[in-house]
Structure 1
């Protein structure tokens, strides 16, 4: 699948710092014309640049990322996100009131808790649409203005409505997870909502795939000590595991 190949090629270039076109052709078993087309698309993401005979990671590549459309994020690392949602689903208990974030890592959690009688609070239009198929799931939709990039409702009224609820468990996503900057998000619209959810929730769960580690976005909405559990698809780098342990954050992968 081309989208997965693009992600893999970008990650490879960022990890190696630079690569020749011939090297990419050999590694991914594709033609030079295909590599050139892939590179042209990756250039639009802003993390790499062309050099003579190949490509090179920019100096700040992978350090700060911007929010992409939900449809793009939903395609990226799709299998990994499904595994994360399945693991997260095992944490939900009968009678829980849970918050499900708008992030693409969280949306499919609905599929894995459909058999559990619980209340979902969300500002995600996609979560709400999926929940309609499961009679045991009660749904409380937060108000606000629709933001199409994330298919979510945002605004002052969203935050104000959150303040009246007590949440048993929050399932949240992040644009990046960094040892220095903590859990970050690229959207100013979502920042205040995430902060309020952390304030109102008894148990806070973070759901991120492996590609989010080592990256930061513009807004820090939480730090390691703010979370109780991190759910991911593979074991994070050793320094992240140490940080999680120091802050008593349970790790599931």
Structure 2
């Protein structure tokens, strides 16, 4: 599983401005496994596009009868053969490079989910969750709006990375999961801004 989708591909710039390599497989695996603890016993789950949610989907527990809504083609392919999962692929324009649809709010109108797992392109201390593109940001916001709980999944290279389009304040997520590559001082600064921070 290389690259990823939904702001999960291409090089990124960290808080210091240095270009960062996209190879974050071990960190994404830890984040994905930690995120499993945020699942309800059953119910409706929304998975945003991203390499980390692809890993999450691969580890989705069997036999819980989850309904999964996603805009990620790779996530849908991962879960397509699962007879214990009811799968809904969101409509919208296909972002081919990201392997994801860009859903509009009307695509999700009337839906309700227990928890949404969102992958921001960047996490700004001042502006909140950001994306490289306004259409992607709008889709991520629409995903957040249908869920009773929101869990943001962001490896440490995304923290401090302020992208063009802001789609949510830090206080709008219930939990943010990152990895131990995030310096403890930066984690403490972030912990003061989000309701709950996990560093795994």
TM-score by length of 2: 0.83
What is residue 194 of structure 1 aligned with on the other side? Answer: 140
Secondary structure of 2:52 counterpart: coil
Match of 1:161 in 2: 107
Separation (CA, whole Å) in 1 of partners of 2:12 and 2:129: 21
Query: 1:124 is matched with which residue: 72, 88, 91?
Result: 72
Deviations 1:64-92 (A, max 9, x none): x9xxxxxx95xx20111111111111221
Q: Which has the higher contact order (CA 8 A, sep 6+)?
A: 2
Equivalent position to 1:182, from 128, 131, 134? 128
Task: Report SS of the residue matched to 1:170.
Answer: strand
8 Å contact kept, 2:175–2:198: yes
**Gapped runs of 5+ residues in structure 2?**
3-9
Q: Does 1:61 align with 2:17?
A: yes
Cα offset for 1:62? 4.7
Q: Which runs of 5+ in 1 are unaligned?
A: 4-43, 48-59, 66-71
Q: 1:205 is paired with a residue of what secondary structure? A: strand
| Structure 1 segment 99-178 matched on structure 2, within 5 A | 99-115=46-62, 116-155=64-103, 158-178=104-124
Preserved CA contact (<8 Å) 2:150 2:175: yes
Q: Are 2:114 and 2:147, in contact at CA under 8 Å, matched by a contact in 1? A: yes
Q: Which has the higher helix share?
A: 1
Greater C-alpha radius of gyration: 1
Residue in 2 that maps onto 1:232: 178
Task: Compute the displacement of 1:61 (Å).
Answer: 2.5
**Following superposition, which runs of at least 4 residues in structure 1 exceed 4 angstroms of deviation?**
44-47
Instruction: Kindly indicate whether the alpha-carbon contact (under 8 Å) linking 2:46 and 2:115 is maintained by their aligned counterparts in 1.
Output: yes
- RMSD, matched Cα: 2.8
